[in-house]
Chain A
Amino acid sequence: MAVRTMAEFVAAGEQPEYLFWVGCAGSYDARAKKVTIAFTKLLQEAGMSFAILGNEESCTGDAARRAGNEFLFQMSALQNIEVLNGYEVQKIVTACPHCFNTLKNEYPALGGDYEVIHHTQLIDQLISEGKIRIGKGMESKKLTIHDSCYLGRVNGEYIAPRSVIDHLQADVEEMAASRSRGLCCGAGGAQMFKEDEPGDQRVNSARIDQILETGASVVAANCPFCITMLMDGLKAKEKQDEVMVLDISELIVQSNDL
């Protein structure tokens, strides 16, 4: 099923319920694209009316802003706000906690006011409305949960991912450092785009040690940058065949074999 853009909706005289903000990682990163596709399948299965901006979308500016480059952030953000306001967008859903945070908390001061939700929140809602089926594919698998900083500690959402995971009937083993005590993957604050400062260990490696302690074979993540960092960390310890890192949307898709 094709995904329609905002421009196509407008041309047809329609307005979608949600704008799906794909983000840079979701659009270009090979691994994150799989999450984008999994989430799209869920939206389609649930019969949601949604559009993407397509080539009219550009970086929210989160990394530029946290790197200290306010000019670049303002240019990106104001351009996006022009587009979003032009389409009279009201509700935005995104699979990236960094886009989620910037759209939700930083765009209002620049003139962009939207109702922004993270895809784990929408998936949770659609499951409770009976619009998304849960299969048995993840049943009794040993699973642990990695909270992204920008969904968890920054925006206080620890419940939605866990509520979705509850439906999978997996064998959930939380890490000692979870929820508000969760350890960062090491990507935030634009670290994703630079080498680490000198130290004893990479942050993702420290997180992988905590993950391995649980004995889980699946890590449920909710951020494309966390997924990259955790997968890199597993590869560095040659554990990539023993532990899978999956987004919440992928867990649902795989449970159903969609």
Chain B
Amino acid sequence: MAISQIIFILISLVVFSLAFVQFGFVIRNIRLGRPEKIVGHTGWRWKNVLLVAFGQKKMFKRWIPAIFHFFIYTAFLLTQIELIEILIDGAGGYHRFFADKMGGFYTFLINFIEILSVLAFVATVIFLWRRNVLKVPRFFNAEMKGWPQLDGNLILIGELLLIIGIFSMNGADVLLQQIDPANYPDTGTLAISSWLGPSLFEGLDSNFLHIIERGGWWLHIMVVFGFLTYLPHSKHLHIFFAFPNVYFTRRRSRGEMENMPEIMNEVKSMMGLVEDTGAEMGEDIPQFGAKDVFDLSWKTLLESYTCTECGRCTSVCPANTTGKKLSPRKVMMDIRDRLDEVGKNLKSGKPEFVSQDSTGAKLSAQNYDDGKSLFDYISSEELYACTTCNACVESCPVLINPLEPILAMRRYDILTNSAGPGDWLPMFNSVENSGSVWQMPDERAAWTKELDTD
């Protein structure tokens, strides 16, 4: 076994174990969420996955970024085929394992990948330009400062490196096929590399070509490996999570806020509509709504990791575009950041995170208390600026619903915290006492008297 094979296998093992641990961390975090049953209707779910995730239907509401994104996305999907070959070659010590086995089909595949890679290269440069030169406003809201901005650029630079790797490898290979056909099987004519290779590397000696070919190969696989361990810390996780996130979309109508059966049953029993089950709410008022990530559905937590911070939601939010603090994207990012923090603390096992009434017990999600909550990330001012217009929900290309956690946190603030805008008190009192949002002296049907005089 060659030394390069051993190195490759060792690096692969390290990367895969690292990725396994990190993805495991993310998945365990998502499972910290409240259970919510999202099952059935598999036909409808797969249809969504095909149209919205694979087909990118919602991206095409803004067709310019949609087209460029589509190039990068299809190049990414297709390059996975080449990646299989790279893994086999790397571990088995082969060179282009599939080339002579597939013949003409191999040429077709590599050509397809080459053309998509060029399109993806152009698209990536345009995306870098949109972010850094054109400065598209939705990439410059307050929540995008620092790490999120760097994250976006790192991903794009990584993509350029991947493509540079592919073309160095293929370009040098085309020349090597002529010099050393015994070791470099014929790939057929390649759309880009058969032209790009000679025009860049023509005349170089075969040792140097070999270094370029190997350099491209290692660059490509190392960037892929880098991505694999980087993704769990990045907004770029959407390349995997968009699919399950779309699959598990709630079927509930957009207009229906999640019912709260515990409150419904309590009110029913107060009104004498059901027989008192004796299961009355005790002296301590239970917690309603969402204070922390544990109170949000696992689906919302999955959404927080799926968000790629594109900011379509924020760019159409009536509150945000009129200068209010609320940004639906920031809400999703805050949930993810808080969840990461909780996950890390739980993983640390430190007794300082055990709540006071469980002192001495082993740290777990049930007794977790670090003295913080989602409200340390998302302010009331943000929550109370929402008009529930659903523009954010409508705009998300991967079916994230930022409204759900906003309303869940309002519920906590109002029901458990007894806080919220003072302006609402007259409305609450009026609904409670006179069955109308305004306190009115007239009878409700008084308008009918105006019918004939009008």
Q: Contacts A70-B263, A78-B268, A197-B325 given: A188-B388 contact, CB under 8 Å? A: yes
- Write the chain A residue with the least CB distance to B410: A68
In the assembled complex, which residues on chain A have CB atoms less than 8 Å from the CB atom of B289?
68
Q: Indicate whether B381 reaches chain A with its CB closer than 8 angstroms.
A: yes
* Stretch with Cβ within 8 A of B (4 or more), from A19-27, A86-94, A165-173, A212-220: A19-27
Q: Indicate whether A142 reaches chain B with its CB closer than 8 angstroms.
A: no
B389 touches A189 (CB 8 A): yes
In the assembled complex, which residues on chain A have CB atoms less than 8 Å from the CB atom of B421?
194-195
Q: Give the size range of B's interface with the partner.
A: 35 or more
Of B316, B426, B435, B437, the contact of A181 (CB 8 Å cutoff): B316
* Stretch with Cβ within 8 A of A (4 or more), from B30-38, B300-308, B336-344, B443-451: B443-451
Q: Which of A61, A64, A68, A196 has the most CB of B within 10 A?
A: A68
A187 touches B387 (CB 8 A): yes
Of A55, A69, A71, the contact of B445 (CB 8 Å cutoff): A55
In the assembled complex, which residues on chain B have CB atoms less than 8 Å from the CB atom of A184?
318, 387, 389, 391
Q: Indicate whether B273 reaches chain A with its CB closer than 8 angstroms.
A: yes
B432 touches A72 (CB 8 A): yes
In the assembled complex, which residues on chain A have CB atoms less than 8 Å from the CB atom of B316?
181
Report the bound CA distance from A195 to B257 in whole Å.
Answer: 23
For residue B26, give the distance in angstroms from its CB to the closest CB of chain A: 30
Interface residues of A in 51-70 (CB under 8 A from B): 52, 54-55, 57-59, 61, 63-70
Report the bound CA distance from A105 to B450 in whole Å.
Answer: 32
A68 touches B415 (CB 8 A): yes
B324 touches A36 (CB 8 A): no
Of A22, A67, A68, A155, the contact of B255 (CB 8 Å cutoff): A155
Of B321, B415, B426, the contact of A69 (CB 8 Å cutoff): B415
Main secondary structure on A side of the interface with B: helix
Q: Which of A64, A67, A69 has the most CB of B within 10 A?
A: A67
Tally of A-B Cβ pairs under 8 angstroms:
217
Q: Indicate whether A161 reaches chain B with its CB closer than 8 angstroms.
A: no
In the assembled complex, which residues on chain B have CB atoms less than 8 Å from the CB atom of A109?
256, 259
Q: Contacts A82-B273, A191-B387 given: A197-B257 contact, CB under 8 Å? A: no
Report the bound CA distance from A102 to B289 in whole Å.
Answer: 20
In the assembled complex, which residues on chain A have CB atoms less than 8 Å from the CB atom of B451?
1-3, 37, 40-41
A5 touches B445 (CB 8 A): yes
Report the bound CA distance from A204 to B384 in whole Å.
Answer: 17
Q: Indicate whether A76 reaches chain B with its CB closer than 8 angstroms.
A: yes
Interface residues of B in 376-392 (CB under 8 A from A): 381, 384-391
In the assembled complex, which residues on chain A have CB atoms less than 8 Å from the CB atom of B40?
none
- Write the chain B residue with the least CB distance to A65: B257
For residue B125, give the distance in angstroms from its CB to the closest CB of chain A: 29
Q: Indicate whether A130 reaches chain B with its CB closer than 8 angstroms.
A: no
Q: Indicate whether A162 reaches chain B with its CB closer than 8 angstroms.
A: no
B436 touches A58 (CB 8 A): yes
B415 touches A193 (CB 8 A): no
Q: Indicate whether A236 reaches chain B with its CB closer than 8 angstroms.
A: no
Of B260, B323, B424, the contact of A70 (CB 8 Å cutoff): B260
Q: Indicate whether A121 reaches chain B with its CB closer than 8 angstroms.
A: no
In the assembled complex, which residues on chain B have CB atoms less than 8 Å from the CB atom of A195?
421, 423
A110 touches B437 (CB 8 A): no
For residue A21, give the distance in angstroms from its CB to the closest CB of chain B: 11
Contact with A along B413-441 (1 / 0, CB 8 A): 11100001101101110011001111010
Q: Contacts A104-B255, A184-B318, A206-B322 given: A149-B390 contact, CB under 8 Å? A: yes
Q: Contacts A105-B256, A184-B387 given: A197-B326 contact, CB under 8 Å? A: yes
A37 touches B264 (CB 8 A): no
Report the bound CA distance from A59 to B450 in whole Å.
Answer: 21
Q: Indicate whether A50 reaches chain B with its CB closer than 8 angstroms.
A: no
Q: Contacts A189-B386, A190-B427 given: A71-B254 contact, CB under 8 Å? A: no
A149 touches B437 (CB 8 A): no
Interface residues of A in 1-48 (CB under 8 A from B): 1-3, 5, 22, 24-29, 33-34, 36-37, 40-41
In the assembled complex, which residues on chain B have CB atoms less than 8 Å from the CB atom of A188?
387-389
In the assembled complex, which residues on chain A have CB atoms less than 8 Å from the CB atom of B424?
67, 69, 190, 193-194
In the assembled complex, which residues on chain A have CB atoms less than 8 Å from the CB atom of B440?
28
Q: How many residues of A contact B (CB 8 A)?
A: 76
In the assembled complex, which residues on chain B have CB atoms less than 8 Å from the CB atom of A127?
none
For residue B273, give the distance in angstroms from its CB to the closest CB of chain A: 7
In the assembled complex, which residues on chain A have CB atoms less than 8 Å from the CB atom of B450?
33, 37
Contact with B along A197-235 (1 / 0, CB 8 A): 111111101100000000000000000000000000000
For residue A9, give the distance in angstroms from its CB to the closest CB of chain B: 14
Q: Contacts A37-B454, A67-B420, A106-B257 given: A203-B390 contact, CB under 8 Å? A: no
Contact with A along B244-264 (1 / 0, CB 8 A): 000000000111110110011
For residue A157, give the distance in angstroms from its CB to the closest CB of chain B: 11
In the assembled complex, which residues on chain A have CB atoms less than 8 Å from the CB atom of B263?
70-71, 74
Report the bound CA distance from A194 to B426 in whole Å.
Answer: 10
Q: Indicate whether B143 reaches chain A with its CB closer than 8 angstroms.
A: no
A189 touches B411 (CB 8 A): no
For residue A207, give the distance in angstroms from its CB to the closest CB of chain B: 8
A68 touches B420 (CB 8 A): yes
For residue B406, give the distance in angstroms from its CB to the closest CB of chain A: 9
For residue A46, give the distance in angstroms from its CB to the closest CB of chain B: 16
A105 touches B323 (CB 8 A): no
Of A74, A105, A193, the contact of B427 (CB 8 Å cutoff): A193
For residue B323, give the distance in angstroms from its CB to the closest CB of chain A: 3
Report the bound CA distance from A186 to B391 in whole Å.
Answer: 12
Chain A interfacial positions (CB closer than 8 Å to B): 1-3, 5, 22, 24-29, 33-34, 36-37, 40-41, 52, 54-55, 57-59, 61, 63-72, 74-76, 78-79, 82, 101-102, 104-106, 109-110, 149-150, 153-155, 180-181, 183-184, 186-203, 205-206
Q: List 10 A-B contacts (CB under 8 A).
A: A1-B452, A27-B446, A68-B407, A70-B288, A70-B411, A74-B264, A74-B268, A188-B387, A198-B323, A199-B322
Which 3 A/B pairs are nearest by Cβ-Cβ distance? A58-B435, A200-B323, A189-B388
